[in-house]
Structure 1
Amino acid sequence: MLHKLKPAIRDWARSDGLVWLHLLKTVSAGLLALGSAMLLDLPQPRIAMTTVFVLMHPFSGMVLAKSFYRGLGTAVGAVAALVLGALFAQQPELHVLGMIAWVSACIAAAVRYRHFRWYGFVLAGYTAALIGIPNVATPEGLFLAALTRAAEVGVGIICSSAVSALIVPQRSGLALLQALQVRYGDFTAFAVDVLSRRVDRRAFERRFMQLVDEIVGFEATRIFAAFEDPAMRSRNHRLGRLNNEFMHACARLHALHQLLKRSQASEAAPVMRRIDPYLRELTALLALPRDVSADGSDLAARLLTFHASLPRRIRQTREQHGHASAESWADFDTAAELLYRFVAEWTQYSDSYATLAQRKLGPQQGRKSSYASKTNSYLIAFTLIRSATVMTIAAWFWIATGWLSGGFAVIGAALACALTSTAPNAPRMAVQMAIGAALATLAGYMFTCYVYPNIDGFPLLCIVLSPVLALGAHLATSKRAAGLGVGFSVFFCLLAGPDNVVAFEPDLLVNNGIALTASMLLTAIVLATVFPADMGWLIERIMDDLRAQAVLACRDQRTELNQRFQSSTLDLASQLRVQLARHSRRRRHALRWMLATLEVGHAVIDLRDEAARAEYVQALHPGWSAAVERLLDHLAQLFERPDARALERAVVSVRSAMWIAQDVLDAVRTNPDRRHDMQRIFSCLHFIRTALLDKDAPFKPC
């Protein structure tokens, strides 16, 4: 009987058991912070408890990272509140305007930097609001309020970090390595489907965008994993390099898939079937079970052997079936080159993955790889104006009516704007937070009127608070109800959390709750109607930045261009996915531009690298350098101002460069090294031409 229960217990411990563990740790940390703040005789212990519910996460690395940035944000916010209070003493209107400007600027900076730096900027903003707004009329209490708020937040940080790191810690480093293993297996299976031509265009685009999200999300994950584990910090550069290599492998697979798709309906289809045996062989290698080594080293060895023999076998195939036209062989040669590059990239990634999984330092451990994130400047300005508008409306109503709880409405608006600034569906999250605030008000009223008066002592207080705190923590872990859980947990602690000196003011509690709920609803209405995230002009500006990455590939002269190009392009594509609704036509159009930018940009960078190595071509044909420069200029113009005329110019320029490359190739056929150089250059040019002429490409206006 026991041996039958062990698998079930193990499965429960790995699934629902982790949820219950997180709830237990969250509630324990919250009550520990509350008790510690009471013991230290701080005026508002509920702030310490609120801090815990903002910080707690199943993984200890994320808690430590958020604690670090919350500490920085709280310190900066407290200083900002003091400065604004000193500048605008006894001038509430100017003080509120200064506070709105500061909070809006912090939210805009959070959107610019994102990930965990986002959290630090957000805290710097609404901490200033939490300290400064309640003390607008009493600036003499501002300094003491800043000190006590910092102390209360510090208690919450210490308690949440200690509980997360010391009590059954869930290491994000281990989760990161497991995620890498899953990603490795999933991508291998995806490559098998692509090489077998079992993936249609829509399915490929959907899966590729999931890979984009994984690449962008991985960068955030490896940052907080470094907070908890010295071993992860020592391997942080290798993790970054591993992610870059994965990006390159994805790009090569995408280019190969695009060429295979385009060649199926072309006249070169019979010749292109000559590449199928190599695709089937590679598919068989990738599909082999990895029982011998789950870390990828066995696959890397097999791929290395396949990669080394591929050029010789491709030449033999070409010699045996050389009767087809040159145009037909161009697709074959380009497909062979892309296959060769994909195998090289995937072999390098597999080798790095195996080295990381075996906890060994590879020969290139010291080489750093950076991820270049990019945020559209119009989006930053849009976020600043949107946040300022919402808070200005709330502040105007407060000042115009003299509402006692109007300050809470401004604070609620600041919180809502900050916490929804990077949400995929900001109005929906704001509505959920409003519902959470309303439920927190009802629960707080019940506790204030009927629970607190009938209990005595801290142990009994912990017993009655545990269920409601656990409910809020559980809702916050749900993807669909995260906003509801955050609103309920945070606002219950703020409105009805017990203090050292309890004031029985249920009417003020309800009034404050109404103010918070109304501010959340106001935020949702403004975000949905006046400043929707999918405004046409804003999406076009982000699309301009996306297309500008191809211009960067054509004109930039800096080192590591390929790495910066790819990471920035994927980062912008991920932002577009957040801004646009699922399954919309505009989202599909943005995806097509992202794919076109990736394939043309990569081919251009490859062309520039190959042309730089083959300097002798200019001596063999005087018009070569001018043809390449003209091609790069016309491609840049196409991505800057896409239209039919620009497309035609770019296609003509590609053809001119291909004619020159073909002439030089014929002239150097007796020189194996130079012939190989020119074949690679010609393949880059041919791939760019097929990408421009693709019927699914977005270059022509709809």
Structure 2
Amino acid sequence: MKRQRAIGPTSDSTGKWCALLQGLSPGVLDWASTDGLVWLHLLKTVTAGLLALGIAMLLDLPQPRIAMTTVFVLMQPFSGMVLAKSFYRVVGTAVGAMAALALGALFVQQAELHMVGMIAWISACIAAAVRYRHFRWYGFVLAGYTAALIGIPNVTTPDGLFLAALTRAAEVTVGIVCSSAVSALIVPQRSSLALLRTLQLRYRNFAAFAADVLSHQVDRRAFERRFAALVDEIVGFEATRIFAAFEDPAMRLRSHRLGRLNNEFMDACARLHALHQLLKRSHASDASATMATIAPHLRELAALLTLRRDASVDVSHVSARLREFQTALPRRVRQIRKQLHEPSAELLADFDTAAELLYRFVDECAKYSDTYDTLAHRKPGPQKRGANHYVSITNGYAVAFTFIRSATVMSIAACFWIATGWPSGGLAVIGAALACALTSTSPDPTNMAVQMALGAALATLVGYAFTCYVYPNIDGFPLLCVMLAPVLALGAHLATRKRTAGLGVGFSVFFCLLAGPDNVVAFEPDVVINNGIALAASMLLAAIVLATVFPADMPWLIERIMDDLRAQVVLACKDQRPELNQRFQSSTHDLASQLRLLLSRRSRRRRHALRWMLVTLEVGHAVIDLRNEASRARYLQALDPRWPAAVESVLDHLAQLFERPDARTLDRAFVSVRSAIWIAQDLLEAVHTDPGKRHDAQRILSCLHFIRTALLDKDAPFKPR
């Protein structure tokens, strides 16, 4: 339990709970850490919803069910998530209310123009939500959705628009306050503790993965799959870190160190990938016998990284052993190099590059272990080594695509409403807006929309039963809570399951909207049915449009995102060097995660995108190393005037290759790299008598040789297939 409290401080009550749990049986502890957390989340969600309903009724607000709906849209398992979303929900609600007032003032009793303005505003908010993801997504979504909730029902009654904006803001605020209070005060599930558990699991998984790679126990498909999972963990870690900063001041103080930890993890993954790629290519060539001489060191390092699953990890001990291995590695490599029997220049380059990559990988692993150890045991960390910026990128075409898709769905619903005068048509437009918003970042938006439609249909049936048979036969708020609790818990439970998340969200939200009780309950079952049909139809409309007209994995859109992914190598070749590695690593992983989200099904396109991600990481990382080493060894320019032009030629042609990948640009880049290698070999001979300069030239030569092997890789996706 000490290690779980290391990241952030916990209250005395949490310590008492931990002491109590330690005395329970293993079966109870296992239930408490798995299904028990789900039941706790359900209990807190239902409690917050009923509390919001009761307070809104006590304040005599017109629609208390909106406060209850807010809770089910907002509630999350971790208090940091709720606080983060609550903050941006308040901002989004305020902005949406002002937008509704502005549109109502501009288009008084002009339904057509009002809907055009409203659709443009909501679509722009959803597009901005896709551009600014994670916790900010919710603020933009609420800015559009709140404007629809306020403005659409009052489009023909502008005199009630201002009052509707005030009451809607009050109802939403009640839901925000209740969900935040219940989440933070009743057995709070800290994001900081979840973050620590994530760090522990990630450290173990990475160590096991690295040990398997070094032991040659991972084939190509398994490597790609497990490495892609590490990419998802990098992106998810950044979101969890921000959530934790909202709930814990100590986490805000450690935010810089956590950011550095994520950067070091990305560097360690990149080094492992580069080493694996070089070993894979060497084993498939004539260099296998030469590379076999370094295999004992790989097995020794794999043994160092093999952690016992049934024991706690002494990270400081692992880090110390890695440093000892790293210190002894150069001497061992020199001894092996002397024992090689007349190797060719290319075989010797393979050996030197592998040794350099192994040394750099051990160094990155040791840095990662050191930083993790200081966080896990609350040790004073090293001095700051520059800023840690995680850069997220979203393709402009994807943002525009989201805008057009959302506007199309809502325009169809609005045109049908205006043309037919359907009394529930306004709610259908609101439902279409909600469907577009909630599916904007879903890996399978069509399935999500269909599940929400089924949830709306189920909510209509249950709401009809409550309106006709439950509400008329109960009296008093306590009995109302007893009757509502099982239904609300069912929706929350479905929402926690991955396969039924859309069904649970649709049922919970739409049951509250359709049949949630108000201060004065109206016996209008026909209105409930009509509104339910409108919501279900709008969800199905969204699903049809998403599946047929605007599927999320359209080939041209995937290709645009892959262009942005390849452009990260251009960034590595052309951008300024300060913090270049951090920007390159984070933006590349972010774009790769987006591609994995869109290409969720296993297919040839998904494997092709993954291979572009892998080659982008290895070449971009090698280019950054090359630029750093060349900048550090500026004295080489005086030894051979051809050297600066050779480096620039390599950078230019690699940038052209990733901008326009084809056989011609590949050949041009290969020729440039090979020419630079010849010059670097001459420089190595010129500085052979100086150990320091020889080492600098050797590292430059290793970077160039690794880039050359990457261009020659038969699995690389440079040539069209």
With structure 2 as the length reference, what TM-score do the two structures score? 0.96
Q: Which moved more, 1:642-651 or 1:558-567?
A: 558-567
The answer to whether residue 128 in structure 2 is matched with residue 109 in structure 1 is yes
Q: Is the Cα–Cα contact under 8 Å of residues 196 and 279 in structure 1 kept in the other structure?
A: yes
Distance 1:3 1:184, change over 3 A: closer
Cα deviation for residue 367 of structure 1 reads 4.2
Task: Give the whole-Å Cα distance in 1 for the aligned partners of 2:310 and 2:333.
Answer: 31
CA displacement, residues 65-117 of structure 1 (integer Å, 9 cap, x when unaligned): 11111111111111111111111111111111100000000000000010000
1:284-683 to 2 correspondences below 5 Å: 284-287=303-306, 289=308, 294-365=313-384, 367-683=386-702
The answer to whether residue 44 in structure 2 is matched with residue 25 in structure 1 is yes
Task: Give the whole-Å Cα distance in 2 for the aligned partners of 1:377 and 1:306.
Answer: 47
Percent identical pairs in the alignment equals 79
1:93-104 to 2 correspondences below 5 Å: 93-104=112-123
Cα deviation for residue 291 of structure 1 reads 8.9
Provide the residue aligned with 2:10 in structure 1: none
Task: Give the whole-Å Cα distance in 2 for the aligned partners of 1:292 and 1:480.
Answer: 34
Aligned partner (choices 78, 90, 96) of residue 71 of structure 1: 90
Structure 2 residue matching 1:421: 3-state secondary structure: coil
Task: Give the whole-Å Cα distance in 2 for the aligned partners of 1:108 and 1:465.
Answer: 36
Give structure 2 stretches of 5+ with no counterpart. Answer: 1-20
Structure 1 residue matching 2:247: 3-state secondary structure: coil
Distance 1:470 1:596, change over 3 A: same
CA displacement, residues 213-237 of structure 1 (integer Å, 9 cap, x when unaligned): 0000111111111111111111111
Distance 1:5 1:340, change over 3 A: closer
Provide the residue aligned with 1:157 in structure 2: 176
Provide the residue aligned with 2:292 in structure 1: 273
Cα deviation for residue 58 of structure 1 reads 1.5
Cα deviation for residue 621 of structure 1 reads 0.9
Residue identity matched to 1:106: C
Q: Is the Cα–Cα contact under 8 Å of residues 295 and 353 in structure 1 kept in the other structure?
A: no
Q: Is the Cα–Cα contact under 8 Å of residues 254 and 599 in structure 1 kept in the other structure?
A: yes
Task: Give the whole-Å Cα distance in 1 for the aligned partners of 2:215 and 2:562.
Answer: 33
User: Aligned residues, how many?
Assistant: 701
CA displacement, residues 640-690 of structure 1 (integer Å, 9 cap, x when unaligned): 111111111111111100000001101111100010001000000000000
CA displacement, residues 119-167 of structure 1 (integer Å, 9 cap, x when unaligned): 1100111110011000001011111101001101111111111111111
Cα deviation for residue 7 of structure 1 reads 1.9
Distance 1:288 1:448, change over 3 A: closer
Structure 2 residue matching 1:80: 3-state secondary structure: helix
Task: Give the whole-Å Cα distance in 1 for the aligned partners of 2:605 and 2:214.
Answer: 29
Q: Is the Cα–Cα contact under 8 Å of residues 295 and 357 in structure 1 kept in the other structure?
A: no
Q: Is the Cα–Cα contact under 8 Å of residues 647 and 699 in structure 1 kept in the other structure?
A: yes
Q: Which moved more, 1:226-235 or 1:283-292?
A: 283-292
Q: Which moved more, 1:353-362 or 1:96-105?
A: 353-362
Task: Give the whole-Å Cα distance in 1 for the aligned partners of 2:593 and 2:386.
Answer: 27
Cα deviation for residue 366 of structure 1 reads 7.3
Aligned partner (choices 185, 188, 194) of residue 204 of structure 2: 185
Cα deviation for residue 494 of structure 1 reads 0.4
CA displacement, residues 386-410 of structure 1 (integer Å, 9 cap, x when unaligned): 0000000000000011100000010
CA displacement, residues 486-513 of structure 1 (integer Å, 9 cap, x when unaligned): 0000000000000012111111111011
Task: Give the whole-Å Cα distance in 1 for the aligned partners of 2:35 and 2:299.
Answer: 42
CA displacement, residues 596-648 of structure 1 (integer Å, 9 cap, x when unaligned): 11100000110011011111111111111111111111111111111111111
The answer to whether residue 57 in structure 2 is matched with residue 38 in structure 1 is yes
Task: Give the whole-Å Cα distance in 2 for the aligned partners of 1:195 and 1:667.
Answer: 35
Cα deviation for residue 294 of structure 1 reads 2.5
Residue identity matched to 2:152: I
Task: Give the whole-Å Cα distance in 2 for the aligned partners of 1:540 and 1:287.
Answer: 39
Distance 1:294 1:3, change over 3 A: closer
The answer to whether residue 105 in structure 2 is matched with residue 86 in structure 1 is yes
Residue identity matched to 1:231: A
Provide the residue aligned with 1:205 in structure 2: 224
Provide the residue aligned with 1:58 in structure 2: 77
Task: Give the whole-Å Cα distance in 1 for the aligned partners of 2:229 and 2:407.
Answer: 34
Aligned partner (choices 214, 217, 220) of residue 233 of structure 2: 214
Q: Is the Cα–Cα contact under 8 Å of residues 106 and 122 in structure 1 kept in the other structure?
A: yes
1:96-175 to 2 correspondences below 5 Å: 96-175=115-194
Task: Give the whole-Å Cα distance in 1 for the aligned partners of 2:570 and 2:341.
Answer: 38
Runs of 4+ in 1 over 6 A off after TM superposition: 2-5, 290-293
Q: Which moved more, 1:493-502 or 1:306-315?
A: 306-315
Task: Give the whole-Å Cα distance in 1 for the aligned partners of 2:561 and 2:262.
Answer: 24
Residue identity matched to 1:90: Q
Cα deviation for residue 548 of structure 1 reads 0.5
Task: Give the whole-Å Cα distance in 2 for the aligned partners of 1:35 and 1:639.
Answer: 60
Q: Is the Cα–Cα contact under 8 Å of residues 650 and 673 in structure 2 kept in the other structure?
A: yes
Give structure 1 stretches of 5+ with no counterpart. Answer: none
Residue identity matched to 2:414: A
Q: Is the Cα–Cα contact under 8 Å of residues 103 and 414 in structure 1 kept in the other structure?
A: yes
Task: Give the whole-Å Cα distance in 2 for the aligned partners of 1:581 and 1:47.
Answer: 34
Task: Give the whole-Å Cα distance in 2 for the aligned partners of 1:219 and 1:142.
Answer: 40
Residue identity matched to 2:114: H
Residue identity matched to 2:42: L
Distance 1:637 1:365, change over 3 A: closer
Q: Is the Cα–Cα contact under 8 Å of residues 290 and 298 in structure 1 kept in the other structure?
A: no
Q: Is the Cα–Cα contact under 8 Å of residues 208 and 307 in structure 2 kept in the other structure?
A: no
Structure 2 residue matching 1:226: 3-state secondary structure: helix
